[in-house]
Amino acid sequence: MQKPVKLILIFLSAFWLAHGPVAAQEKIIKSHGISTFGDLKYRADFKYFDYINPNAPKGGEFSTSGFGTFDSMSPYILKGQSAALSSIFFESLMTSSSDEPDSMYGLLAETIEYPENRQWIVFNMRPEARFSDGTPVTAQDVVFSFNILYEKGRPVFKTLLRDVQSVKALDAKTVKYTFKQGANTRELPALVAGLPVFSKAYYATRDFAESTLEPPLGSGQYVLDKVVPGKTVSYIKRDDYWGKGLPVNIGHNNFDRLTIEYYSDTTAAFEGFKGGVYNFRAENYSKLWATAYNFPSLEKGWVVKTTLPDGNPSGTQGYWINMRKDKFKDLRVREALGLMFNFEWSNKTLFYGQYARTTSFWGNSPMQATGRPIGAELALLEPLKDDLPTSVFTDEVFTPNTSKPKQLDRAALRKAGKLLDAAGWTIVNGKRTNAKGAVLTVNFLNDSPAFERITNPYIANLLRLGIDAKLETVDPAQATERQKAFDYDVVIQRFVMQKTPGVELRGMFSSTSAKTQGSNNLSGVDNPAIDALIEKVEQATSRDELNTAVRALDRSLRALHIWIPQWFNSAYRLAYLDVYEHPENMPPYALGEMDFWWYNADKAKKLQAEGAFR
């Protein structure tokens, strides 16, 4: 749909007044999409994404499990435990594809306009966009959404959005973001394009900062169907959704209902799947995958057990060490802790050989650091020498110790002991004790009984080293609150790293986020060299520059021993009732089980007749 000539004239007049004749000479790009480095796979006239089935049938229910509990439908604030999929109500100005690393295409916005330096961006919104109560989605709603996220959302939004100078509604359907002078603007347009859009009128009588189970008002395709706090939540598709025919929506949102059944432990969740309480399971536990998939519905062919490739970076699953605590500030202490986790023994004995060791924050990608730094990567690191370990420049990139496949590797024990001795933690009466007489204690915060069998042998190794190590298993709600407040020694967590890293790194590794409650900076990284490298990542103007900067960052983080890497599997392990189907041409960057899979009603009738379910 073309923008009315009158609005174009209004925009050009406003632009001239705001920026003057010099700015008016800039080349203004008008497009249906945007990517970090400017390369879009899909043209303006694309009909749908290549990987989806445009004729996917609609209907049926998708059901899966959730872990822990919930007491809120407010996912963007610090208060409460938000339910799975509770962001589903809201849409953003643009949305991503799953077969490109960083492209976005118009959703609430039809087109965008921006200069080559990306100092600002204008979103031309679709006039047909509506909230679920029928009211139009306006530019004023976009302005309100940014402001409320910045003022009352999770504190990390202040870190992520710090380079936005202003957001203004130029008219009812045109909104302009302007970025601060000197900011790294490469990905800022995409960042603001992906923010959720809320109804300003809806929150005029509600406090955004207070958690609630009230179903919020959004413009998305699903609304709340039913909620049983802490147990079940389900969402149902709207018949009157405004954007069904958009190219970014064709072949998506195929299920009439999405349901999540909550469980407090792995055993109960698996039994629920076997009993047909829910019908799709992504299996995260190697022992179950290797030994427990022999139940009747699988043997009768009612349940599919399969794997699908995962093209994302391998992720960062591991034990994150809280460096905010004095006892962990010495790098040698952290390195010693890492030496005592025996992955080789764990993989053989506990995981049935199903995993590979995570070695990098960007494993399974060209952004993983290797060898010694040379060339452009070394040039980035040289000015930062004073704030980085010497090993960054003198040694091969840090790779976790390869241990003998028995629980306690004595060579690793001896090396760890020497590190602790050098750090001032010597053996006194069998315990690692410092000069002040304090014993070195390490408390592992855990909310999953399944991790007990993994962490307890690790603790046994630490005890042999003289460290007073303990496992504290708490309920998921308590674990979440303590993680928000950084109230732990060591916590277990996994992050899926972005294919095009950028501003999200501020929330994970920057000095600012180290002090920001609820951030993803679990280890409390507070290092000017890391801050500088994050800036370099954000400033990269090509994929080659980006890869170089991320390698330098990866190398530096690994040398700081902020985390004890665990393991990864480059495939999704799946089991599901044979009523679900997926596109033949699966994209590399998303499984999409609730998005572009679909329900086969004919298969469902057949399985129902056979007694697979009621």
Q: Is 403 buried (19+), middle (13-18) or exposed (0-12) by CB count in 10 A?
A: buried
Burial annotation 476-506 (CB, 10 A radius, 16+ → b, else e): bbebbbbbeebebbbbbeebebbbbbbbbbb
Q: 191-215 pLDDT, tens per residue?
A: 999 999 999 999 999 999 999 999 9
Residues in the chain: 614
179 alpha-carbon distance from chain centroid: 25
Q: How far apart are CA 482 and CA 504, in angstroms?
A: 22
> Which backbone phi and psi does 301 adopt, to 5 degrees?
85, 10
Q: 324-354 pLDDT, tens per residue?
A: 999 999 999 999 999 999 999 999 999 999 9
The two structure tokens encoding residue 605: 């009738």
8 A C-beta contact, residue 139 and residue 172: yes
* Average pLDDT of span 436-443: 98
* Average pLDDT of span 598-606: 97
8 A C-beta contact, residue 413 and residue 405: no
Q: 465-521 pLDDT, tens per residue?
A: 999 999 999 998 899 999 999 999 999 999 989 999 999 999 999 999 999 999 999
Q: What is the DSSP string of 164-179?
A: EEEEEEEETTEEEEEE
8 A C-beta contact, residue 472 and residue 482: no
Q: How far apart are CA 339 and CA 547, in angstroms?
A: 29
8 A C-beta contact, residue 400 and residue 357: yes
The dihedral over CA atoms of 80, 86, 92, 96, expressed in degrees to the nearest 10, equals: 120
The dihedral over CA atoms of 208, 209, 210, 212, expressed in degrees to the nearest 10, equals: 50
Q: What is the pLDDT of residue 314?
A: 87
Q: What is the pLDDT of residue 39?
A: 87
Q: How far apart are CA 424 and CA 332, in angstroms?
A: 10
Q: What is the pLDDT of residue 26?
A: 79
pLDDT at 19 > cutoff 50: no
> Which backbone phi and psi does 121 adopt, to 5 degrees?
-145, 140
Side chain identity at 329, as an amino acid letter?
K
pLDDT at 21 > cutoff 80: no
Q: What is the pLDDT of residue 265?
A: 87
Q: How far apart are CA 524 and CA 305, in angstroms?
A: 40
* Average pLDDT of span 278-293: 95
Question: Does the model's pTM come out above 0.85?
Answer: yes
Q: 105-155 pLDDT, tens per residue?
A: 999 999 999 999 999 999 999 999 999 999 999 999 999 999 999 999 999
More confident residue, 573 or 23: 573
Q: What is the pLDDT of residue 278?
A: 97
CATH superfamily of the domain spanning 318-568: Dipeptide-binding Protein; Domain 3 (3.10.105.10)
The two structure tokens encoding residue 331: 């790098």
Q: How far apart are CA 529 and CA 533, in angstroms?
A: 6
Q: What is the pLDDT of residue 11?
A: 34
Q: Closest Cα to residue 197, out of 112, 113, 125?
A: 125
8 A C-beta contact, residue 417 and residue 465: yes
The three-state (H, E, C) secondary structure of 502-559, written as one string: CCHHHHHHCHHHHCCCCCCCCCCCCCHHHHHHHHHHHHCCCHHHHHHHHHHHHHHHHH
The confidence band for 315, taking pLDDT boundaries of 50, 70 and 90, is confident
Q: How far apart are CA 546 and CA 534, in angstroms?
A: 10
Dmax (CA) for the chain in angstroms is 84
Q: 378-408 pLDDT, tens per residue?
A: 999 999 999 999 999 999 999 999 999 999 9
Host H or E run for residue 114: strand 109-115
Q: 42-73 pLDDT, tens per residue?
A: 999 999 999 999 999 999 999 999 999 999 99
* Average pLDDT of span 310-320: 92
* CA pseudo-torsion sign 122, 45, 36, 398: positive
Side chain identity at 484, as an amino acid letter?
K
Q: How far apart are CA 185 and CA 164, in angstroms?
A: 10
pLDDT at 77 > cutoff 70: yes
Say which residue the tokens 């049935």 belong to.
Answer: 352
For residue 564, the number of C-alpha atoms closer than 13 Å in the C-beta half-sphere is 25
pLDDT at 18 > cutoff 70: no
> Which backbone phi and psi does 381 adopt, to 5 degrees?
-85, -30
State the pairing for strand pair 431-433/356-357.
Answer: unpaired
Q: What is the pLDDT of residue 17?
A: 35
The confidence band for 38, taking pLDDT boundaries of 50, 70 and 90, is confident
Q: What is the pLDDT of residue 449?
A: 86
Domain map (residue ranges) of the chain: 318-568
Q: How far apart are CA 543 and CA 187, in angstroms?
A: 13
The confidence band for 8, taking pLDDT boundaries of 50, 70 and 90, is very low
Q: What is the pLDDT of residue 25?
A: 62
> Which backbone phi and psi does 430 adopt, to 5 degrees?
80, 0
The confidence band for 450, taking pLDDT boundaries of 50, 70 and 90, is confident
Q: How far apart are CA 140 and CA 202, in angstroms?
A: 13
Q: Closest Cα to residue 256, out of 582, 594, 583, 614?
A: 594
What does pLDDT average to over the chain?
A: 94
pLDDT at 4 > cutoff 50: no
8 A C-beta contact, residue 194 and residue 104: yes
Q: 514-558 pLDDT, tens per residue?
A: 999 999 999 999 999 999 999 999 999 999 999 999 999 999 999
The two structure tokens encoding residue 1: 């749909």
